[in-house]
Structure 1
Amino acid sequence: MIGWMEAVVLGLLQGLTEFLPISSSAHIRVVSAFLGWDDPGAAFTAVIQLGTEAAVLIYFRKELWEIISTWTRSLFKPELRDHFAARMGWYVIVGTIPIGVLGLVLKDQIEGAFRDLRLVGTTLIVFGIILWFADRTARNKLTLEKHLNVTHAVVYGFAQALALIPGVSRSGGTITAGLLLDYRREAAAKYSFLLAIPAVLASGLLELAEIGNGDAPDWGPTILATVISFIVGYAAVAWFLRYISTHRFTGFVIYRILLGVFVILAVSLGWIPVQG
């Protein structure tokens, strides 16, 4: 079971890593294994992500209000349907469908086989290399306002769905897709964060019923981890958006590869168990 100290550490990890392209779920899984803690499980991970998602809601509150209000009014006022905020509402909805469908279909694998540390280490390496390739070849020129469309939203959506496997990274997968589509780094990251909102909220709320039952952690540590992830996550998203406006993702790529190699080596040598 997750205790108070574990909750503090895992909440910090969630807040620090959710918005970086290094996979928060992988870090929670790997750190728990190295410290000899029980695997906190998919339910705990999904619920504490509500904290970091609350940070996104507050950070982008003005844009979100404009999107929601304009999209809602456009349902009754045809003249608003070409407004970017109204279109963005549809792009977020369309982009959420892949992870929603695959999340339900693959629920058993998400809670079991996908948490295999050999798979986690491999995805850290492979998708780190893909991120490096995308960052090096992207023309970094498209903007959301002028170029985002339904096709691109679907591509983003399937990239986000890959994050059902710990190690891929929700932000890393969607940002990589955006770079491959030639979006600017900041634009790719912004849409990545907005696109995650429905999926993370739905996943976290659905998993709330699991907290305190069976092998899932109790409510107290879960709430503490969620609050910590919110506070740390708000600072992390603000820093990350400033950082990528002037820097490439090379540092994150190197980190992912080194961590992935270390995880696979640790499992191979028996330092940590394959499953929690």
Structure 2
Amino acid sequence: MSIWQAIILAIIEGLTEFLPVSSTGHMVIASSLMGISAFEFTKMFTVTIQFGAILSVVVLYWKRFINSVDFYQKLLVAVIPALAIGFVLKDYVDAMLERVEVVAISLLLGGVILIFVDKWFKEKENPVTTPSYKNALIIGLFQCIAMIPGVSRSASSIIGGLTQNMTRKAAAEFSFFMAVPTMLAAATYSVLKDLLHLEISDVVKLDFPKIEKALSSITPQEWQVLAIGNVVAFLVAMAAIRFFVGFLTKYGFKLFGYYRIVVGLVILLLLGLGIEIKIV
């Protein structure tokens, strides 16, 4: 992977991770068109740069993360369903990840839903701005729908927030906060288990020889590409979050719905043309 390819993927990650458009779908298209989807390092790169995107939320909303213990307790309640269900259904989820048509169909159906979301969940008087523990749990259950590739973690969790009478802004921001522990856990597990071939126990026990051997498998050039990717993803994600909150508050979801439909159709078109597409 060249530095320019890394920058392109990092920009896509930063732009799409927190928008309700499915970052997976965009990574599928971009990596396939650049001819790098089959490379093992591409998978490592797309997982690793999520750390940069996660950091953008912490930096933008740092006051929330030092606000109170109650904040973390609600986040814990919200992410437990995804962690539990993800652990139990990991093999089934991994099997779905191999099917690009699932991504395309999820994008299409999700797009149709987003077109009508604003009509279904009109903001009412006395909306919820700070979720209760019950609200957090229900939103967490909605987030589990995103285990289907192409659904979008952001879209499912924001819609979950809307079902709890939250404002668009509050639902979007809570979705960002949920992303930190959810993505951190998923990305860390994937890097250790699937990419470095380490067990979590190896890290906990500080098995330095095994850790050093795993890390040495990454070349200096690859470390450079990973560093650049994380910086780019961090900066772009910060800008995307600021844009999304303002846009969503003013205009709603409809445009994102139409956009998802277009992306889904593009993937189906690429499949129809016989272009090799692989989920990274």
TM-score range, shorter chain: 0.7 to 0.9
Deviations 1:135-174 (A, max 9, x none): 22112232233xx223321221122222233311111111
Shift of 1:180: 3.0
Does 1:204 pair with 2:182?
Answer: no
Alignment match, 1:56: 57
- Give the CA deviation at 1:236: 1.0
SS at match of 1:253: helix
Residue in 2 that maps onto 1:223: 227
Cα distance change of structure 1 residues 275 and 183 upon mapping to structure 2, 3 Å threshold: closer
Q: Deviations over 1:86-134 (max 9, x none)?
A: 2x33221111011112222333444453242101100001112222232
Q: Contact between 1:160 and 1:174, CA under 8 Å: does it hold in 2?
A: yes
Letter in 2 for 1:131: L
Pairwise CA RMSD = 2.5
Does residue 1:19 correspond to 2:23, yes or no? no
What is the rounded CA distance, in whole Å, between the counterparts of 1:229 and 1:43 in structure 2? Answer: 15
For residues 49 and 22 of structure 1, do their structure 2 counterparts lie closer, same or farther at Cα, with a shift above 3 Å needed? same
Are the structure 2 counterparts of residues 173 and 207 from structure 1 closer, same or farther at C-alpha, using a change threshold of 3 Å? same
Structure 1 counterpart of 2:86, which letter? G
Partner amino acid, structure 1, of 2:172:
A
Q: Does the C-alpha gap of structure 1 residues 206 and 98 become closer, same or farther in structure 2, counting only changes over 3 Å?
A: same
Q: Could you say which residue in structure 1 is the equivalent of 2:275? A: 271
How many angstroms apart in 1 are the aligned matches of 2:167 and 2:271?
A: 38
Partner Cα separation in structure 1 for residue 107 and residue 54 of structure 2: 22
Query: Could you tell me how far apart the structure 2 residues matched to 1:128 and 1:177 are?
Result: 16
Q: In the superposition, relative to structure 1, how do residues 37 and 166 fare at CA in structure 2: closer, same or farther (>3 Å)?
A: same
> Hey, what's the Cα distance between the residues in 2 that align with 1:42 and 1:123?
21
Q: Which residue of 2 aligns with 1:74?
A: none
Decide whether aligned partners of structure 1 residues 274 and 42 sit closer, same or farther in structure 2, where only a CA change above 3 A counts: closer
Counterpart for residue 83 of structure 1: none
Structure 1 counterpart of 2:2, which letter? G
1:143 aligns with 2:143: no
> Quick check: 2:20–2:154 contact (8 Å CA) kept in 1?
yes
Match of 1:249 in 2: 253
Find the aligned partners of 2:42 and 2:97 in 1 and give their Cα distance. 11
Aligned mates of 2:249, 2:43 — CA distance in 1 = 32
Q: Match for residue 202 of structure 2? A: none
Cα distance change of structure 1 residues 231 and 275 upon mapping to structure 2, 3 Å threshold = closer
Tell me whether 1:94 sits opposite 2:88 in the alignment: no
Q: Distance in 2 between matches of 1:188 and 1:33?
A: 33
Identity of paired residues, percent? 30
Alignment partners' CA distance in 2, 1:155 and 1:254: 27
Any conservation in 2 of the 1:99–1:160 contact (CA below 8 Å)? yes
Q: Which amino acid aligns with 1:113?
A: M
How far apart are residue 222 of structure 1 and its match? Answer: 2.4
- Structure 2: runs of 5+ lacking an equivalent: 198-213
> Is the CA contact (8 Å cut-off) linking 1:41 and 1:111 kept in structure 2?
no
Match of 2:47 in 1: 46
Match of 1:125 in 2: 108
TM-score, normalisation: structure 1? 0.83
Normalising by structure 2, report the TM-score: 0.82
On the 8 A contact 1:42/1:111 being kept in 2, the answer is: no
* Deviation of 1:41 (Å): 6.1
- Residue range with higher mean Cα deviation, 35-44 or 23-32: 35-44
**Which residue number corresponds to residue 34 of structure 1?**
33
Against the structure 1 CA distance between its residues 97 and 275, is the aligned structure 2 distance closer, same or farther, given a 3 Å change threshold?
closer
**For 1:229 and 1:158, how far apart are their aligned partners in 2?**
27
CA distance in 1, matches of 2:87, 2:235: 30
Q: How does 1:175-214 map onto structure 2 within 5 Å?
A: 175-209=158-192, 210-211=194-195
